[in-house]
Structure formats: C-alpha cells, structure tokens
Amino acid sequence: MNTSRKSHHVAPQAELILDARNRTGESPVWHVAEQALYWVDIPACALHRWRAADQAHDIWHADEQIACIAPAPNGQWIAGMERGVYMLTPGANGRLAASLVAAVAHARPGMRFNDGRCDRQGRLWSGTMLLDMAQLAPVGALYRLGGAGTAHQLVQVLDDLVVPNGIAFSPDGRTMYLADTTPSRQTVWAFDYDIDTGLPSKRRIFIEKLASGRPDGAAIDEAGCYWICATDSGQIHRYTPDGRLDRSLNVPVPKPTMCAFGGAQLDTLYVTSLRRPSTPPDALDGGVFALHPGVCGIAEPAYRP
C-alpha cells in the first residue's frame, strides 16, 4: 500500500563523513557506548569503525566475507558471513578473531549471508543469497539465531528469497519487516511478530514497489517509520507504519545500501554505499554519509544468546 503523499519538510543535505571507497559498504551500526559507527565492506572481508569525537577510522579484516553485524557482549560482534554465523573480536593487529557460533547448510555452493540485525529481544535474524546475483535464483532463506532452546542453532524460518534485505523491527518489536531486492520482486513485507517465540506470521505486502529504486537495507525511527535505502536511485525513503510514503532524501551516490540512526541523540542518519569497478575516480560511491532528518532513531539491541 504505497502512495505518493509526502509531508512537507526541508530536505537535509547529505554530508560525506568518510570517503571509504567501499566495494559494498553495508550493515552500519551505531555503538552507543563508544559513540562510534561500525559497518562492513562485504567483499573486502572488513569491519570498519569511525569515531565521531576525533573522526578516527579503524579497519579489521577477517578470512571470509562479512555481510552483517550486530553488537555482542564484551566488545564482540555477531556476524553473518559465508559459512555461518561467527563471533568476531577486533584485535590490535588489524585482524578479526573469528569463532564459529553456528554453521549454515546452504541450498547451493557459492552462497553467503546478507542483511541482518537483532530483534528487540536480542535474537539475530539474517538472510542468505547466491553470490552470483545475475542468476536471480530464489535459493535464499531467512534464519533466526537464538531463542528458547535454540541459543546456538540457526533456525530456518522462510525460504524462496533471492536477495533478502530490509530486515527491521517496530519499536515495540511486534512488527517485522523484510524485503527482497531482486528486480523481479522489489517488495517489502510486514509480519506480525511474536516477541516470546520469535516467530513471524501473517505475511503481507507493506510496500509493493518503492517510489524509486529497489529496496536495500533499512532502519526504524522512534515513531515506527521505516527508512529504506533505494539502490539505483540515490535516495532513502521514509514510510509510515501504514505504508504511506512520507518523504525521500537524496545522497550523492546511486547505490546507497543501508542506513542506521546514530549520534549522541540518535538523530543522525548514517548511510553506507557501494562502489563499482567502473566508477569514475573522483566519484563518492562507496563513501559513508550523514543526514539530519529531524527525527530520532532507536539504539540497536545487542545479541543475547
């Protein structure tokens, strides 16, 4: 249920905070205690950190692709990667110590995890996809890690996905969102979400097709509105909980990938992006951007096994 009615706001300008030149910047997460933004560059197998106070930029590398991250206890990160979900510990030598938490049985060789985040109760949700996206193969699945009796087990909840994206949860945790980026679908679904069992139900179309672009990563603000990066369009759209388009913000790159609220008041919207090999040298693609949309977000829950 997608309409074109927009509220009247002065559109904020996107600020480049880091010319990171990420091949596929993804999964930005604001770390409240550190006042720092973390994100990944998937094909570079890299975890990045940018500190707001001094603009210091740190990078750690793993031995396989990191697709999504969520904070975990003791300065660690839970991460969906290629062969499963790992616990990552950044080291002083620029390396990530990786400990396998749960292996995944992919439908085919050549797959990895993609978008992911924790629900309000600290269970990790992430979807899988075929690395060769040109095949448009619906072999991806959505998994949950954590919950009663499944602390270190991956539970497959949905299948028939091509490029799962846009996972988010309403402020009360009782609505779950999921998107599929593939051109043949471009759909965002909503589910009723049982916060006790960690099970989604009553799947329905939330956005049949974005106002522009295809759905990528998303974030939720404190009003329960859904912010979705529209890849190929250089925009981030805000949809109200009833599926109305509220506004669209521009970034100076065609492929924003995911957004996250951060800053001292959680009133800054950070946006990652990707950079193609054919991108002109002076283009900002692959950079990390900040916008001030006039609303606040919600701190991301940490993983709780």
3-state DSSP call for residue 74?
A: helix
Q: Which residues have CB under 8 Å from 4's CB, separation 6+? A: 211, 245
Count Cβ atoms below 10 Å from residue 280 Cβ, excluding itself. Answer: 7
Is 54 a residue of the active site? no
Tell which residue, 244, 250, 227, has the closest CA to residue 298. Answer: 227
The values of phi and psi at residue 139, to 5°, are -105, 0
Long-range pairs, 4-11, Cβ under 8 A, ≥24: 4/211, 4/245, 5/244, 5/245, 6/245, 6/246, 6/247, 6/248, 7/246, 7/247, 9/247, 9/293, 9/294, 11/247, 11/249, 11/250
Two structure tokens written together for 84: 């499963």
**3-state SS track over 79-115:** EECCCEEEEEEECCCCEEEEEEEEECCCCCCCEEEEE
Q: Look up residue 284 and give its amino acid.
A: L
| Sheet (strand 36-41) strand order | 25-31, 36-41, 46-51, 57-61
Q: Which of 180, 216, 221, 285 is catalytic?
A: 216
Report CA dihedral (66, 99, 117, 215) to the nearest 10 degrees: 20
Return the active site residues.
Answer: 216
